[in-house]
Amino acid sequence: MQKVELLMPAGNIEKLKYAVRYGADAVYLGVVDFSLRAMRKGEIITLDNLKDAIDLAHKLGAKAYMTLNIFAFNSDIKHLEECMDIIKDANPDGILVSDFGILRLLRKYMPDVDIHVSTQTNILNYECVKFWKDMGATRVVLARELSIPEIAEIKKQVPDIEVECFIHGSQCVSFSGRCLLSDYMTNGERKANSGNCSQPCRWSYKLVEETRPGQYYEINQDDRGSHILSPKDLCLVKYLKDMINAGVDSFKVEGRTKSLYYVSAVAKTYREAIDEILKNPDADMEKYFIELKKVGNRGYTTGFALGENKPDSYSYDISKGLAGADFLFEFHDIKRYSDVVWGSNVDANLYLVKVKNKVYLNDEVEIITPSERFITNIEEIIDEKGENIELANTNADVYLRLSKEPKEYDVALARTVGVKEHVY
C-alpha cells in the first residue's frame, strides 16, 4: 500500500501544534479575511502571524496548506492582491482555491506554489479533474457526494494528480458545502461562503400552514425531534483500506472550529489506524471507531462513500455534537511537590492543569498523549495556595498528583474513562 497523508485542521496556533504532535502529516489553515471558517478562540492565525504558523508546522516536520477558498468579490480580490507579498513570504506548501480570480492572482504572484482545488468546486468526475490539472492544479479535493468506486475511477483516469478526500467530521446539508441558507436566514449578516456560517441546518424547525398563522405544528421524525436538515458526522475509519486502494493520497479531517481535544484525539486515532492498516491491510478498525465515539459527534454516517446517502444519515433529534467521553483537563506544567507545598519533603511530581470539566479527588481518568493511552487515578488535588481540595471546578488551575504519569506531559490531555452511549 502507498503512503497516505493525514491532513488535520489548524484553527489556531495551539491546535496546529497539537495536531502535528498527535500525528498529522500536514495541516490546513486560513486567515480570517480569505477563509471559509471564522475563528474566535485561541491565538488566531492572521496575516501578521501566518509565517510563524507555517514555520512552526515545518519545524515540527509537517506541511502547511493555506486556504484561500472563498468565492471572491471585487473587494476581496483587491485586498488579496495587497496581501500577496505576505502570503508569498509565509511560504505555504500549497494553497487551496475555489475561485478562478484567486487562481489567476496566484499564478501571477506565486507561479511555483502548489494549487489545491477546494471541494467547493464540486469535483465529481475525471474530466473535471483533467480540467483542473490543465489549469495547473497539483491536487483536487473531491466532492463528498462521491462513492469509493467513483473515487477509484477518477484516480485511474487521472493518476498523475493528488486526490484528497474527507474522511471525518461535520457535513453540510447542501451540495458540496455550497449553501446560502445562512445568508438568507440572517439577512446577509452571516455569509456561509465567507467563513461565518450560522448553521441554520442545525436549527430546530416548526411548520405553519399559510391560512392558519400562529398555529404551529411540530415536525417530527420518529417522535424524537425536528432537526430535519442536520446531517450526522462523517466517519470512514472502517473503510481506510478501501480508500487507500482507491488511490486517495490525502485523508482530510474537517474541524477548524473544533476543540483542542477533538483535534488531538481524532489525529491520534487516525494516525494509529492508518499506520496499522498500512502494515496489515486486513486489520480490524472497530477499536478505532470506538475511540472516535469519545469525541463530539452527531452520530456517525458513511455518507455517500458506500453509495447513495440514506435517510439515517441525518441526526433528527440533536444539532450539537455529543462526546462519548468528557474532556477533563489539559497539562500546562510540572513541579516538584516541595515547590508547591511549603516545607514538604514528599518525593512526587505535581502537574499544573487547566480544568475543562470538574474533577474529584480519587477520580479515575484516561490520559492520552501522542504515544500513550492509559488510565490513572487522581491521588491529590492542590489549589494555587498549596492547600488540598477534593473538587476542582471548570476553568480552575490546580496541581494534581497522579498514580501514573504521562511521558509527554506538555501535550497530554485527560478525559473520562469509557464511552457514554448516546441515542441519536
In this prediction, residue 319 carries a pLDDT of: 57
Q: Is residue 223 part of a domain?
A: no
Domain check: are 90 and 128 in the same one? Answer: yes
Domains identified in the chain, total number: 3
pLDDT tens profile 270-327: 999 999 999 999 999 999 999 999 999 988 999 889 987 766 666 656 556 688 999 9
List the CATH number of the domain containing 348.
Answer: 2.40.30.10
Q: Is residue 134 part of a domain?
A: yes
State the average pLDDT for the chain: 89
In this prediction, residue 199 carries a pLDDT of: 73
Domain check: are 252 and 207 in the same one? Answer: no
C-alpha 147/C-alpha 127 separation (Å) is: 17
Q: Is residue 318 part of a domain?
A: no
Domain check: are 93 and 205 in the same one? Answer: no
C-alpha 356/C-alpha 352 separation (Å) is: 13
CB 120 within 8 A of CB 176: yes
Q: Is residue 262 part of a domain?
A: yes
Domain check: are 46 and 146 in the same one? Answer: yes
Query: Residue 74 CA to chain centroid, in angstroms?
Result: 30
Domain check: are 75 and 117 in the same one? Answer: yes
pLDDT tens profile 227-259: 566 788 999 999 999 999 999 999 999 988 899
Domain check: are 195 and 213 in the same one? Answer: yes
Tell me what the mean pLDDT of segment 90-96 comes to.
98
Domain check: are 235 and 107 in the same one? Answer: yes
Task: Decide the pairing of beta strands 250-253 and 139-141.
Answer: unpaired
Query: Residue 353 CA to chain centroid, in angstroms?
Result: 24
Report which of 243, 247, 258 is spatially closest to residue 302, judged by C-alpha positions. Answer: 243
| Cell matching residue 247 | 488511490
In this prediction, residue 224 carries a pLDDT of: 47
In this prediction, residue 312 carries a pLDDT of: 65
In this prediction, residue 33 carries a pLDDT of: 73
Q: Is residue 239 part of a domain?
A: yes
CB 398 within 8 A of CB 383: yes
List the CATH number of the domain containing 247.
Answer: 3.20.20.70
In this prediction, residue 239 carries a pLDDT of: 97
Q: Is residue 421 part of a domain?
A: no
To the nearest 10°, the Cα dihedral for 77, 43, 371, 94?
A: 10
Q: For the ranges 19-23, 127-131, 178-182, which has the lowest average pLDDT?
A: 178-182
Domain check: are 59 and 124 in the same one? Answer: yes
pLDDT tens profile 357-382: 999 999 999 999 999 999 999 999 99
Residue 58 pLDDT exceeds 90 = yes
C-alpha 305/C-alpha 189 separation (Å) is: 34
- Which domain does 193 fall in, by range? 181-218
- What count of other Cβ atoms lies within 10 Å of the Cβ of residue 320? 10
Domain check: are 345 and 263 in the same one? Answer: no
Question: Percentage of the chain surpassing pLDDT 90?
Answer: 71
Q: Is residue 401 part of a domain?
A: yes
Domain check: are 42 and 105 in the same one? Answer: yes
- What count of other Cβ atoms lies within 10 Å of the Cβ of residue 394? 12
Beta strands in 5-161 (DSSP E): 5-9, 26-29, 63-68, 94-97, 115-117, 139-141
Q: Is residue 424 part of a domain?
A: no
Domain check: are 162 and 141 in the same one? Answer: yes
Domain check: are 252 and 388 in the same one? Answer: no
C-alpha 212/C-alpha 191 separation (Å) is: 32
